[in-house]
Chains A and B, each alone.
Chain A
C-alpha cells in the first residue's frame, strides 16, 4: 500500500496532480500559523529584560536559520534517492530547492546581522556560526552554478547529487559550531532532548513561527518544483493535457 503510493508519487505526473490538491491547504494553514504567531510574538509577548524590543527579530531569524540547514538536508536526501533509485522527481527537487535554500540562508544572515547591531554592537563578526552559515550560502551558490554550466540535464543532475552529498559534511559542523568553539553566537535554546531555555511566553510564538515559516517555504519549493517539472518534461504529452 505505502510502497505503491510512493511509487506513484515518484512520477512527476502524479506528483503534479496530487500536490496541486494539497497546495492550498498547506499554504493557507501555514500562512495563518505564521501570521498568528507573528502577531502574538510582536504585540503580545513581553519585552526582553536585556535586549528590549530588538529580540523580536527572533521570529524571522530562527526559522530562517533552522530552514537553511533543513533544506540542505532535504537536498541530500533527494540526492541519495536520485543516485540509488534513479527517481527523476528527486533530481528535479534538488535543483528546485537550491535557489530557495540560498535565499533562506541569505535571510538568516541578514536578519542575524541586523540583530547583531543592537545586541552585540557589531553587524558582522568572524565567529564560527556566522562564518559557517556564510560557507553554506556560498555552497548553495556553487550548486546552482554547477548545474547551470551543463547543457545535458541528466549529467548535471548526477554531478550535482554527488556534490550535495559530499558537501553534507559541512552541515554537522554548522550545527555544532556553537558548541565546539566558544564564540559570540549563543548555543541553541531549543533542543529535542532538554527543556528549552526560553520563557514560554516567547517560546510558543517562536515554535509557531518555525512551523509557519516551514510551511511557507515548502509552498515555495512546491512552486519551484512545478516549474522544474514543466521545464524538463516539456516534450511529454501528459503535460500538454495538464497545461
Chain B
C-alpha cells in the first residue's frame, strides 16, 4: 500500500504546493508549471522504485525465481510494467488534470498526456536499474546515480513544451521519446537481471 499510494500522494502534494509558493494573484502560473510537472514525475518515479526488489531479496524469493526455469528478464519486465500500470498511468492522468487546471489551451494538455505516459515509463526503467545496482545498500544511492541518465529525457521534455506552445513539430519529440522507450524496455530487463545475479553470487 505504501509503495503504491506513496508516490502518487507525493506527486499530488508537490503539484498542490506549487501554486502556494507563488503569488496567488499571479496570472502566469503556466510559466514554471511544466518544468515542475516533469521534475515531480521524475521524483515520484524515483520514490516508487525504492523497494521494488528489496522485499523479494530479503525473503529469498528473488533467488528462487532466478534458479527456477522461468525467464528472469521477462519477470523484471513484467514487474516494471505492473509498476507503470499502477503508478505511471495514474500519475499521467493526474498530470493531465493538473494541466487542465493551469492552462486554457486544451491541446497542450492533450499532448502532455502521452508525453507523461512515455516519460514515466522511461524513468521507471532507469530507476529500476539504479535500485538493482544498490540493492541492499539503501536504494537512494542507486537512484541518485541513475539520475544523470534521466536528464537527457528531461531536456527533451522541456523542449517539447516550447515546441507545442509555438505549435511546431511536436510529434517529433513524441516519436523521439517513443524510440528511446522502445530501446530501453528491451535492454533494461536484461541488464537488471545480470546486476541482480551479481548481487546474489
On A, residues with C-beta under 8 Å from B are 128, 131-132, 135-136, 138-139, 142-143, 145-146, 149-150, 155, 158-159, 162-163, 166-167, 169-170, 173
Of A128, A135, A145, A159, which one neighbours B195 at CB under 8 angstroms?
Answer: A159
Stretch at the interface among B24-32, B45-53, B110-118, B133-141: B133-141
Chain B residues with CB under 8 Å of A166's CB are 129, 146, 149, 191
User: In angstroms, how far is the closest chain B Cβ from the Cβ of A85?
Assistant: 16
A11 and B144 alpha carbons, distance in the complex (Å): 34
Contact in complex: A155, B149 (CB < 8 Å)? no
Question: What number of B residues sit within 8 Å (CB to CB) of A?
Answer: 21
**Contact (Cβ within 8 A) A162 B195:** yes
Q: Nearest Cβ in chain A — how far from B92, in angstroms?
A: 24
Given contacts A162-B133, A166-B129, A167-B149, contact A142 B144 (CB under 8 A): yes
Contact of B149 with A169 in the complex, beta carbons under 8 Å: yes
CB <8 Å contact, A163 and B148: no
In contact, A146 and B191 (Cβ under 8 angstroms): no
> Are A149 and B137 within 8 A (Cβ)?
yes
| 10 interchain residue pairs of minimum CB distance | A142-B145, A158-B198, A135-B148, A139-B148, A138-B148, A149-B137, A159-B133, A135-B151, A162-B195, A173-B152
B74 at the interface (CB under 8 A from A): no
Can you name the residue of chain A whose Cβ is closest to the Cβ of B198?
A158
Q: Enumerate chain A residues within 8 angstroms of B137, measured Cβ to Cβ.
A: 149-150
Q: List the B side residues contacting A150 at CB < 8 Å.
A: 137
Distance in Å: Cβ of A74 to nearest Cβ of chain B: 19
Contact indicator A163/B133 (Cβ below 8 Å): yes
Q: How far is the CA of A170 from the CA of B191 in the complex (A)?
A: 17
Instruction: Please tell me if the beta carbons of B141 and A170 are within 8 angstroms of each other in the complex.
Output: no
Give 27 CB contacts A-B under 8 Å.
A132-B152, A135-B148, A135-B151, A135-B152, A142-B144, A142-B145, A145-B141, A146-B134, A146-B141, A146-B142, A146-B145, A155-B198, A155-B201, A158-B198, A159-B133, A159-B195, A162-B191, A162-B195, A162-B198, A163-B133, A166-B146, A166-B149, A166-B191, A167-B149, A170-B148, A170-B149, A170-B152
Given contacts A155-B199, A159-B198, contact A146 B148 (CB under 8 A): no
Chain B residues with Cβ under 8 A from A149's Cβ?
A: 134, 137, 141
Residues of B within 8 A of A173 (CB): 152
Interface centre among B129, B144, B145, B201 (most CB of A within 10 A): B145
Given A146-B134, A146-B141, A155-B199: A162 and B194 interface contact (C-beta under 8 Å) = yes
Min CB gap B31→A, angstroms: 16
How many Å lie between the Cα of A62 and that of B147 in the bound state? 27
A142–B133 CA distance with the chains assembled, in angstroms: 12
Q: B195 contacts which chain A residues (CB < 8 A)?
A: 158-159, 162
